Structure 1
Amino acid sequence: MAAESAEATVAAAPRALQLAEWEEELVWEMTCRATHPFDDHWTTEESAAEGRLRLDLPAGRHPVRAAFVEPDPETTLVLVRLFERADAGRRP
């Protein structure tokens, strides 16, 4: 991901979603509840300290899709869509 600022990233998001060509669906299989930092550049401690978005995922199968998008010449984003699935939250 690259952008001039956090504000530029947020401003580019609507255009990025319009341009996104989503890859084939993959499945994250979680054997136990897990909390993942949304931005893997930061450690868990840094993520919490910086107020970064984190996801609290229950055990189960979580379908995801990703897209690499360049909404403008200064911004490059990797978008990840996480879908709710009926078996999320159940033990495998």
Structure 2
Amino acid sequence: MSNTVFNKSVTGIGGTSLALDSDENIIILMPFIEVVNNKSDYNKDTFIVKNGVTISKIKEYLLNTEKRKIVSTYDGFRKILKAYKQADIDYTNDFLLVDE
């Protein structure tokens, strides 16, 4: 994957699943928790950031996971960034996908 804007114009054709299946470390942000939960059903290795998930839990995941796959609503991105900072991991080395 490269740093790019990809306007696929049609939803539901597997772009997010492709990202989750990649070998890259990735943060995927989505607008609704229902869609986030759906992605966790698809890929059991995905770490879901939602209400009740603490910064320390995210940090623990970051420090103990070889290939990071984090999915969250847009609102959870602040917690994710704080966890990366506390874990002393540069989040800019991971791909960021802002999904529909």
TM-score range, shorter chain: under 0.3
Taking structure 1 as the reference length, what is the TM-score of the superposition? 0.22
Higher normalized strand content (fraction of residues): 1
Q: TM-score, normalised by structure 2?
A: 0.21
